[in-house]
Structure 1
Amino acid sequence: MSQASSSSSASRPQDVFQIGQIATITGGHTIHDAFSAFFPPLLPHIQTQLGLSYSQIGHVNAVMQIPFLLTLVLGWLADRFSIRNFVIFTPGITATLVVSLGILPSYPLLLATALLLGLSVAAFHAPAPAMISNVSGRRVGLGMSLFMGSGELGRTIGPLVAAVGVAWIGVQGLWQLCIVGWLATAVLYWRLHMVGAKSQQRATPHSLQVFVAQAAPMMALLTLMVVGRTFLQTAFTTYLPLYMRDVRGMTTFTEGAITLSILEGAGVLGALLAGYLADHVPRRVLLLTAFCFATPLAWAFTQVPTEYIYWMLPAVGFFSLSTTPVIFTIVLTRFPRNRALASASFMSMGVGSRALANWIMGLVADAYGLEAVYTMCIFIAALAIIPLLFMRREDLEQG
């Protein structure tokens, strides 16, 4: 009797790594983020077409982050109700919105579309990590590495697809590509429409008040760390095509897209490796290693001649983009009763810091140029090591 009970317990769905469902969700993540990655390489075109300053570009990026403030609400809902339709329908919606960015006739309309785009991206990413953790069993780190790696893969492919699309059908014709996003939505509906997105905790979720009381000390330090990391990541993702054009003298859409894809491609490898190691290696060691390599490499990137930057970008991308799955694993394993709310809290930190980073970077770029922006971001990123040193071992290493 006890053996049967033990066997039944060992085979519970929440303990099994469900590769089929993980493949479906990560595939949707790749398609979704490939379209959202159209935006950075389109920025030079948008800036020229509408005659925008760096500050105005920064405002567009900041506005896109505003809807992510709703991720706390979405995460709270996902711990109690199934909101799988957010994951199912947003790839098509995101694709439709992003392909329209390059043809908008005015700055106010650009801001409005950026707001809607941010809402669609937030609606996908709030419940999706909790869904992944639900179907990853006891291997949450591996599940999160595949999830984050699939997003990085999408952000690697996206700029290249945008470059090829612009070369073949022009910015005006990019709308034809949104059919791929809606095909992804159709596949997600077919595979997931009967799958619940409610968090499958073994115990009742803690109330919001209890969660806040438990999470506040850890989240305060995590926020400081994420702010430093976000400044560096924003400089080397959102602003990279502008930097390559205005500082390095690259003039074509394709050149900016290729540099972004090289960076993100290395980020895929970093995310996959770091997420896997998060289940086997002390997470403080992983984060310290990433931070200690990322900032010197980023500084070296700004100093080397242009012909050597293609050798620097993979190293910068590998270390600067590898921390996200590790931090996600820390958050999800530390708060197993509120996984969706915990992941949404982490995402809200990133959103707030990205909005702040974009606003400050736009102002500094207008006043002092993009070279000063990169120097500032590298310095801020170096400070992110300090809060990591003060985090408790039991907060970092649970699970």
Structure 2
Amino acid sequence: MTADTIAEDQKFQADKVAVLSAGHSVQDTYQAFLPAMLPILIEKFSLMKTEAGLLSVFSSFPSLLQPVIGYLADNVGPRYFVILAPGVSAVMMSLLGAAPTYLIAALLLIVAGISSASIHATGPVIAGRLSAQRLGMGMSFWMMGGEIGRALGPLVIVSAVEYLKPQNTPWLAIGGVLTSVFLYFQLRNLNGRAFVHAAAPPWREALKAMRPVLLPVGAILLLRAFAFVSVTTFLPTYLTERGASLMMAGASLSVMQAAGVAGAFLGGSLSDRLGRRPVLITGMVLTAVTLFAFTSLEGWVLFPLLLALGFSLLSVTPIIMAIVQESFPESRALANGVYMAVSFISNSIVAVLIGAIGDLSSLATAYYVSAALALAVLPFILGLPRVKKA
């Protein structure tokens, strides 16, 4: 089996893409423990919100390695990066509740971050190759798995804390370890070398060619990160400060992420039919409007607004991933690794900034700023080079 046999004119291989999506779902279930755990960690270690935001940085900092991981995957194959990640992440994140010090918690998050970087740099590449001409659909499948995981994660960890107590959460790691075993048996016959492109250029040359696309994409990711981090990282903290219980705050995050499942699935699929730019612009405008309304209003209307916010906010991710991959078919893993690194680094920087705004003013102020910046991405979307799909 060679790269030529996994050509772009293959049929969409739904069974294999679904297996990858399931692995992504379990991986992100564990990675989603942190936001729901923040109120507990803030109280346990007497943290300021800025220090709490730094915990997200420790988790995301290893994303700097994603271009390296992507380059390796382009040359040696991506299979084992995907297989090992859920088990490693599960062990690290399940130990978070029992961490005795802030330093230990930070170290656990760094190792989990390396594991997360590995699967996020390589998993979308395998899914994209197996999706043929329906790249947007493939990225939607991949993102849908992640969003399901991020929806389940807060519920899993707050339930475990409630009924098992934080010191017993390490038992949760069993699910992730079993998932890695499952992925090994499902993917062991997948020829990793088939995903190695024979014409992959040297990394310096490849990065230079990516600049016209990745510069506007980087600006979009940085500005969008304010809305993304405000909601996905600080929503439980924001709601508990407004009087909600930890269980209700964690459930609200899961509701938002559940709506994001539908957004992630439809966003990429619609962009295959309607075009990347129109769907991307619509998603960002809806994000700005719903985030502003969610921060301004009270009462029952917050529930539908939370659904709309999750749908619109997460609908844009598979579209950007499809743009990056179809722009660089000979260096998909490297391009995806650079994209993911920029995304995670942007989220890390913004997590600290959102925490600082929350300390100096309030999280509500941070939400208003984030809504305004969501609209600032529009010129950069319009500035994206047009790419002919293969």
Q: CA deviation at 1:70?
A: 0.3
Name which of 67, 71, 74 aligns with 2:66: 71
The one-letter amino acid of 1:283's match is R
1:299 aligns with 2:287: no
Counterpart position of 2:389: 398
Counterpart position of 1:159: 154
SS class of match (1:337): coil
Counterpart position of 1:243: 238
SS class of match (2:330): helix
Counterpart position of 1:93: 88
Counterpart position of 2:247: 254
Q: CA deviation at 1:292?
A: 1.2
- After superposition, the C-alpha distances for 1:126-177 in whole angstroms (9 at most, x for unaligned) are 1111111121122211111100111101111111222322232222222112
Counterpart position of 1:344: 337
Change beyond 3 A, Cα 1:198–1:378:
farther
- Asked whether the 8 Å contact 2:98–2:166 carries over to 1, the reply is yes
- Asked whether the 8 Å contact 1:262–1:313 carries over to 2, the reply is yes
1:223 aligns with 2:214: no
- Asked whether the 8 Å contact 2:77–2:195 carries over to 1, the reply is no
Counterpart position of 1:5: none
Name which of 346, 351, 366 aligns with 2:359: 366
Counterpart position of 1:383: 376
Q: Which has the larger radius of gyration?
A: 1
Name which of 49, 58, 66 aligns with 2:44: 49
Structure 1 Cα separation of the partners of residues 274 and 78 of structure 2: 33
Alignment TM-score, normalising by the size of structure 1: 0.93
Counterpart position of 2:273: 280
> Any gaps of 5 or more consecutive residues in structure 2?
none
Counterpart position of 1:6: none
Structure 2 Cα separation of the partners of residues 370 and 345 of structure 1: 30
Alignment TM-score, normalising by the size of structure 2: 0.95
The one-letter amino acid of 2:320's match is I
Change beyond 3 A, Cα 1:283–1:13:
closer
Change beyond 3 A, Cα 1:133–1:19:
same
Question: 1:127-138 residue pairs with structure 2 within 5 A?
Answer: 127-138=122-133
Structure 2 Cα separation of the partners of residues 382 and 217 of structure 1: 22
Q: CA deviation at 1:197?
A: 3.7
SS class of match (1:15): coil
Question: 1:54-203 residue pairs with structure 2 within 5 A?
Answer: 54-198=49-193, 200=195
The one-letter amino acid of 1:209's match is R
Structure 2 Cα separation of the partners of residues 199 and 230 of structure 1: 34
> Any gaps of 5 or more consecutive residues in structure 1?
1-8
Structure 2 Cα separation of the partners of residues 391 and 124 of structure 1: 27
The one-letter amino acid of 2:322's match is T
Question: 1:16-55 residue pairs with structure 2 within 5 A?
Answer: 16-55=11-50
Name which of 299, 311, 315 aligns with 2:308: 315
Change beyond 3 A, Cα 1:118–1:10:
closer
Counterpart position of 2:317: 324
Q: CA deviation at 1:198?
A: 4.7
- Asked whether the 8 Å contact 1:50–1:105 carries over to 2, the reply is no
- Asked whether the 8 Å contact 1:88–1:185 carries over to 2, the reply is yes
Structure 2 Cα separation of the partners of residues 382 and 87 of structure 1: 35
Structure 2 Cα separation of the partners of residues 214 and 10 of structure 1: 26
Q: CA deviation at 1:11?
A: 9.3
Q: CA deviation at 1:82?
A: 1.9
Q: CA deviation at 1:35?
A: 1.1
Q: CA deviation at 1:209?
A: 2.4
Counterpart position of 1:3: none
